[in-house]
């Protein structure tokens, strides 16, 4: 574990986690030039500890780590943080990508990659439109049967109990809820949540919505809250 500190005007903090220490320090340098304070971790347990201590806004997380792999690190961090997580993998197999996203990663890149592209991806994540920009009044609570969504507080409750969603999961659900009669294609949801300049596999939408459904106890058969419109995309259900 290592800590690199610089003075930033807005206190933005990033955590870079990679056992390739030279690469981690290069990425840290680029992020510092973008105005971040940057902490470094070179193994899984240190990454979880440092994420808990420093409360970063963004984490660059390698999949292949000693101690705990990136998937388990991501899973543990998601129990206490909704920071942006960009996962790195040296393996191109789709299963690695899907596993990473299913535990709460916001985006992914496969090594080798352009450092400039990685910094651009971080910028895209942080520029994502929020529910406040989707036409939903900040004071308007959205209700679908037992499901309530509060865009202002960024809170979701199901039958009165809070539901812990990541930033991205909340944004995807809120985008659907803001226009409950509209059927969204994957690309339309990407434009609404990630922004039109995002580049990647649009099937990440399916993975995030699968995770939302799991947290809502919404089975693929019932589809009370998130409905699949075959051949088109997704829309909100009534909750009934």
Count Cβ atoms below 10 Å from residue 167 Cβ, excluding itself: 19
What gap in Å lies between CA 117 and CA 46, rounded to an integer? Answer: 26
Same domain, yes or no: 188 and 221: yes
How far is 203 from 201, CA to CA, in rounded Å? 5
Task: Identify the CATH number of the domain in which residue 220 sits.
Answer: 1.10.10.10
User: Same domain, yes or no, for 173 and 93?
Assistant: no
Say if residue 80 is in the same domain as residue 189.
no
Which burial class, exposed, middle or buried, applies to 19 when counting CB atoms under 10 A from its CB (0-12, 13-18, 19+)?
middle
Same domain, 208 and 96: no
Q: What is the spatial distance between Cα 157 and Cα 150, in angstroms, rounded to a whole number?
A: 9
Q: Which of 76, 71, 75, 72 is nearest to 88 (CA)?
A: 71
Could you tell me if 9 and 100 lie in one domain? yes
Calpha distance 58→197 (Å, rounded): 19
For the entire predicted model, the pTM comes to 0.66
Q: Could you say which of 69, 101, 126 is where a domain stops?
A: 126
Its domain, for residue 224, covers 131-236
Integer Cα distance of 88 and 119 in angstroms:
13
DSSP string, 10-28: S--EEEEE-S-HHHHHHHH
**∠ CA 8-12-18, rounded to 5°:** 110
- Name every residue whose Cβ is closer than 8 Å to that of residue 199 and which is 6 or more positions away in sequence: none
Pairing mode, strands 2-4 and 37-41: antiparallel
Same domain, 97 and 156: no
Q: Last residue of a domain, which of 103, 126, 149?
A: 126
Sign of torsion over alpha carbons 38, 197, 84, 105: negative
Task: Record the tokens describing residue 209, joined without a space.
Answer: 């919505």
Judge if 6 and 116 occupy the same domain.
yes
Q: What is the DSSP letter of 111?
A: S
Contact 211, 102 (CB under 8 A): yes
Predicted confidence pLDDT, tens digits, the chain (240 residues): 665 544 444 558 999 999 999 999 999 999 999 999 999 999 999 999 999 999 999 999 999 999 999 989 998 998 888 888 998 988 766 666 666 667 778 888 888 888 888 998 898 888 764 443 444 444 478 899 999 999 888 899 999 999 988 888 898 999 999 888 899 999 999 888 887 777 677 888 888 898 899 999 998 788 899 999 988 999 998 877
- pLDDT for 71-110, tens place per residue? 899 989 988 888 889 989 887 666 666 666 677 788 888 8
87 and 181 together in one domain: no
Domain count of the chain?
2
Domain boundary among 102, 126, 150: 126
């Amino acid at each position: 574990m290592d800590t690199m500190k610089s003075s930033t005007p807005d206190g933005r903090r990033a955590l870079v986690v990679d056992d390739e220490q030279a690469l981690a320090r290069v990425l840290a340098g680029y992020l510092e030039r973008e105005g971040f304070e940057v902490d470094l971790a070179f193994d899984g347990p240190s990454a979880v500890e440092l994420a808990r201590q420093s409360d970063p806004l963004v984490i660059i997380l390698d999949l292949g780590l000693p101690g705990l792999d990136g998937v388990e690190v991501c899973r543990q961090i998601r129990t206490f943080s909704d920071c942006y997580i960009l996962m790195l993998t040296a393996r191109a197999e789709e299963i690695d990508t899907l596993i990473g996203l299913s535990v709460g990663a916001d985006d992914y890149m496969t090594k080798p990659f352009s450092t400039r592209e990685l910094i651009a991806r971080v910028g895209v994540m942080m520029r994502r439109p929020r529910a406040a920009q989707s036409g939903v009044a900040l004071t308007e609570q959205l209700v679908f049967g037992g499901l309530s969504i509060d865009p202002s507080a960024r809170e979701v409750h199901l039958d009165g109990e809070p539901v812990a969603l990541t930033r991205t999961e909340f944004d995807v659900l809120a985008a659907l809820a803001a226009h409950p009669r509209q059927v969204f294609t994957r690309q339309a949801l990407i434009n609404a949540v990630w922004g039109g300049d995002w580049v990647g596999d649009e099937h990440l939408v399916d993975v995030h919505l699968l995770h939302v459904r799991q947290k809502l106890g919404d089975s693929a058969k019932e589809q009370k809250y998130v409905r699949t419109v075959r051949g088109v995309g997704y829309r909100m259900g009534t909750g009934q």
